[in-house]
Structure 1
Amino acid sequence: MIKKINLFLLSFSLMLTANAQQAFVKQTAQQFTIAGKPYYFIGANYWYGGLLALEKDPVKGKKRLISELNFLKSRGINNLRVLVGAEGEGKINGVDRVKPALQPQHQIFNEEILNSLDFLLMEMAKRKMYAVIYLSNNWEWSGGFLQYLNWNGKIDQETLKRKLTWDEQRDYTSKFYDCDPCKSDYKKQLDFIISHRNSYTGIKYINETAIMAWELANEPRPMRADAVESYQKWISSTAGYIKSIDKNHLVTIGTEGFMGTEENWDLFKEIHSDRNVDYLTIHIWPKNWGWFKDSPTKESLPEVIQKTTEYIQQHENIAKALNKPLVIEEFGLPRDGHSFDPALSTQLRDEYFGSIFKHWKNSKKMNGAIAGCNFWTFGGSSRPVKGQLFWQDGDDFSGDPPQEEQGLNAVLIQIIRPGR
């Protein structure tokens, strides 16, 4: 009995200590606040951060994580956008997906994935850093909606594995919002995550101050115009459900903005006007959206920056009208010359990032609506494997997900070699 009491007191003490270090992030009109003070942040996408503690080799796992968090904190980064876990295993849409999975098989959960995320959250709390955790994915690289459709008979196994055309991917993914068992499965995973208790600190996730927000998914799109109504209903009901079981954390959708809502400004505004959605997000992808050809150049960059500025300002106006914060939570640009070689220049990317940070800086000065930026993506100490284009089992996790060329967008820690 005494042993149980001592364990309880230790757990309670750890919880008080962790929570004493920071307060929950709140939304107050068009600002985030912490303990009543404005919170404007420069952050990073660190989707693999919750998986590092799974590595058996501490140098590649926990030690790497601690080193990278220290590096980020020393550079003023105090906000990280993290994937909670993947759904399913094996090939999907012709590519490998993130592994190991949180839900490797239908309704079978691997709690070790959350235990690994626990370590990240504990270390972030020590450094007064905040996590935005996205709960699923519109895209195949972590299973996401396509996997839920497969588990519920809407996509057969052969179709799931092969490379889909863009029209096929839109057709299939859009069915998620009208698939009741798919949405029920999503909710079961959501419940599993939010009800979790940190295995290191004993703190329930609903009481974890290191979590800033739950994000419904990475870039959820209706994908087809006829799915818009079901898409809106799912967003509203899911956001409302999260708020009903977790009163402490913010909720956001995870949209790209105009480009992710079937190019419908009214739809973007309507989904973010929901009272249970606390802030707006946008993503900016000049390469994917055809804002330059082949690779960015010194000559094409001014036009890319101009289009980016217009995209930000248009969404900022909506954020002001809704009186909610706006986060530019994904933006990336390949290395100069579209190279994957870490030794080559990032001059154009640096200039591009600087133009976005300038918008954030001006907003901060004016107590404006652009409250945060999370660049895509932090690759830390990882390096692409020479002669190998895509991620393989045993490789270090990097900022570029498995379906993308390793080194494409990852921002890496510079390694200073002796004599240089």
Structure 2
Amino acid sequence: MDVHITILLLCILLVYNPHTVCFSLGLNEHQVSKHRFDDMGPLEDEPWTMVQKSGNQFVVNDQPFYVNGFNTYWLMVFAVDASTRGKVTELFQQASDVGMTVCRTWAFNDGQWRALQKKPSVYDEDVFKALDFVVSEARRFKIRLILALTNNWDSYGGKPQYVKWGNEAGLNVTNEDDFYSHPTLKNYYKAHVKTVLNRVNTITNMTYKDDPTIFAWELINEARCPSDPSGDKLQEWIEEMAFYVKTIDPKHLVEIGLEGFYGPSTPNKVPYNPNTYCQQVGTDFIRNHQVLGVDFASVHIYADSWMSPPISDAHIAFTKSWMQSHIDDAETYLDMPVIFSEFGVSAKDPGYNASFRDNLISTVYNTLLDSARKGGSGGGSLVWQMFPDGTEYMDDGYAIILSKSPSTTKIISRHSTRLTLFNSLCKWKCHWGCKKKHELDESHYHDEL
């Protein structure tokens, strides 16, 4: 049998029975995930190029790129201090070892402890150099970054800090949501965007807007505008800011940072929201993502905090329906990928146990695999959140420390291995002259996975 066919069949079997395949190759699952088929011959190292969007899928070097990633928001702050900087390296190493390829983190810290932006357009160079370090270390471990540019919440400053700066400057701002409409506050935000995107990394000497390490820019974490439930105020801000980011950096992808709540434009979808309050926060999933300059959709999943405690099977059922609804929307209305960019369950929840967390993570992963089999819009997920050893004091209840979570680590690693297969199938087949995406979608191998 041709060696390429043999290895491809082994890869297909790997999705169902990793132990058997790894044994036949003389490897354990950890090694397969870590090396990502690098030693198996036909797969060459690819150049480090930008992630792009082709229809409803992410692509790198014209091949599918399905995401298994994580959140760790505090990397820049830890990188400022020499005593904690090593934790950034440690985390990227551990994430790389289990095959994770994308990290979402903050590219802002407004007016607070170790602030990046101390006042509007006034920056702490030491903190900026710490962000340079985060970007350079991510590249070293082949991990791409989604960088959020501000926060809806007061953690790390965010929207409330911009409004505070406005008040200090004598502006007539009375509501935090004035962030979205007051010209001066919008200019403060634009100035920050321009500064970050044009930053020249002091370690790599590469401008951020030219660096393929950056997967995408996120406009704002968990945007909400409850003062205008119609959604018009936030919609106008998204339209303005997505366009502005693209005028500075047309190369990178842009996403909003939404939680995924349905709003007034789609009353038939409102019942999918986890509670009635969600339709009053000024966001509108489909309408918001139809904006020019927005490249992919973002959704968060927090059944444990959105629904009544204690945690139960109802939270798993909600997770499935919430994900499928947004995958369907991304395919039917948006023609773009969707990333479930935060999901998790808190160890502080009533009824929590590690088995439930593993079940939740497996549910998210399996739903995405079902989409990938069909060439659908389920582009990936980012668990909230990954911590290295020794950072437990930062834990908000959601932290996953791989060294202390063997069952969870196994689930993450196996999912990475499966996504590596999906990302690699086209290249394997192209050794026999395939037509890339179209034959991949129609392949009986693809359907059998």
Q: Per the shorter chain, which TM-score range?
A: 0.7 to 0.9
Q: Is 1:314 equivalent to 2:295 in the alignment? A: no
Match of 1:412 in 2: 401
Contact preservation (8 Å) 1:336, 1:345 = no
The amino acid of 2:403's aligned partner reads: Q
Separation in 1, partners of 2:296, 2:372: 16
The amino acid of 1:129's aligned partner reads: I
Contact preservation (8 Å) 2:223, 2:258 = yes
Separation in 2, partners of 1:246, 1:111: 22
Q: Deviations over 1:238-281 (max 9, x none)?
A: 10111111121000000001168952899321111112100001
Match of 1:50 in 2: 76
Contact preservation (8 Å) 1:328, 1:374 = yes
| Root-mean-square deviation over aligned CA pairs | 2.6
Separation in 1, partners of 2:398, 2:257: 19
The size of the alignment, in residue pairs, is: 344
The amino acid of 2:383's aligned partner reads: F
Q: Deviations over 1:128-187 (max 9, x none)?
A: 21100000000111111111111112999xxx9xxxxxxxxxx83322212111111011
Match of 1:167 in 2: none
The amino acid of 1:185's aligned partner reads: Y
Match of 1:31 in 2: 57
Query: Secondary structure of 1:328's partner?
Result: strand
Query: Secondary structure of 2:303's partner?
Result: coil
TM-score, normalised via structure 1 length: 0.76
Query: Secondary structure of 1:184's partner?
Result: helix
Separation in 1, partners of 2:212, 2:382: 19
1:329 corresponds, among 341, 354, 360, to 341
Match of 1:93 in 2: none
Contact preservation (8 Å) 2:231, 2:263 = no
Match of 2:316 in 1: 305
Q: Is 1:146 equivalent to 2:160 in the alignment? A: yes
Q: Deviations over 1:304-330 (max 9, x none)?
A: 111111111111121002110000001
Q: Is 1:212 equivalent to 2:198 in the alignment? A: no
Query: Secondary structure of 1:258's partner?
Result: coil
Offset of residue 345 of structure 1: 4.9
Q: Is 1:263 equivalent to 2:263 in the alignment? A: no
Q: Is 1:273 equivalent to 2:295 in the alignment? A: no
Distance 1:199-1:154 versus aligned 2 partners, 3 A rule: closer
Offset of residue 111 of structure 1: 2.5
Q: Is 1:367 equivalent to 2:356 in the alignment? A: no
Separation in 2, partners of 1:193, 1:150: 21
Contact preservation (8 Å) 1:155, 1:172 = no
Match of 1:100 in 2: 114
Q: Is 1:73 equivalent to 2:96 in the alignment? A: yes
Match of 1:390 in 2: none
Offset of residue 411 of structure 1: 0.9
Distance 1:337-1:273 versus aligned 2 partners, 3 A rule: closer
The amino acid of 1:181's aligned partner reads: T
Name whichever structure is richer in helix by fraction.
2
Query: Secondary structure of 2:69's partner?
Result: strand
Separation in 2, partners of 1:20, 1:100: 37
Offset of residue 66 of structure 1: 1.6
User: Counterparts in 2 of 1:172-191, with a 5 A limit?
Assistant: 172-191=175-194
Match of 1:356 in 2: 364
The amino acid of 1:307's aligned partner reads: F
The amino acid of 1:334's aligned partner reads: S
Separation in 1, partners of 2:133, 2:283: 41
Q: Is 1:82 equivalent to 2:105 in the alignment? A: yes
Distance 1:48-1:260 versus aligned 2 partners, 3 A rule: farther
Separation in 1, partners of 2:284, 2:52: 25
Distance 1:125-1:20 versus aligned 2 partners, 3 A rule: farther
Distance 1:20-1:356 versus aligned 2 partners, 3 A rule: closer
The amino acid of 1:411's aligned partner reads: I
Distance 1:383-1:126 versus aligned 2 partners, 3 A rule: closer
Distance 1:336-1:151 versus aligned 2 partners, 3 A rule: closer
The amino acid of 1:84's aligned partner reads: A
Contact preservation (8 Å) 2:229, 2:279 = no
Separation in 2, partners of 1:155, 1:356: 46
Q: Which runs of 5+ in 2 are unaligned?
A: 1-44, 265-277, 406-449
Q: Deviations over 1:37-91 (max 9, x none)?
A: 000011000111223321122xx21x222222111011111100010121112xx
Query: Secondary structure of 2:285's partner?
Result: helix
Query: Secondary structure of 1:409's partner?
Result: coil
The amino acid of 2:194's aligned partner reads: D
Q: Which runs of 5+ in 1 are unaligned?
A: 1-18, 90-98, 161-170, 386-397, 399-405
Query: Secondary structure of 1:381's partner?
Result: coil
Distance 1:338-1:184 versus aligned 2 partners, 3 A rule: same
Match of 1:134 in 2: 148
User: Identity over aligned residues, as a percent?
Assistant: 25
Contact preservation (8 Å) 2:262, 2:283 = no
TM-score, normalised via structure 2 length: 0.72
Query: Secondary structure of 1:152's partner?
Result: helix
The amino acid of 2:100's aligned partner reads: I
Separation in 2, partners of 1:377, 1:415: 14
Query: Secondary structure of 2:320's partner?
Result: helix
Separation in 2, partners of 1:181, 1:22: 38
The amino acid of 1:292's aligned partner reads: S
Match of 1:121 in 2: 135
Contact preservation (8 Å) 1:383, 1:407 = no
Separation in 2, partners of 1:116, 1:345: 36
Match of 1:377 in 2: 385
Q: Deviations over 1:324-381 (max 9, x none)?
A: 0000001120127659xxxx95221111111111111112222210101001111221
Separation in 2, partners of 1:382, 1:183: 39
The amino acid of 1:186's aligned partner reads: Y
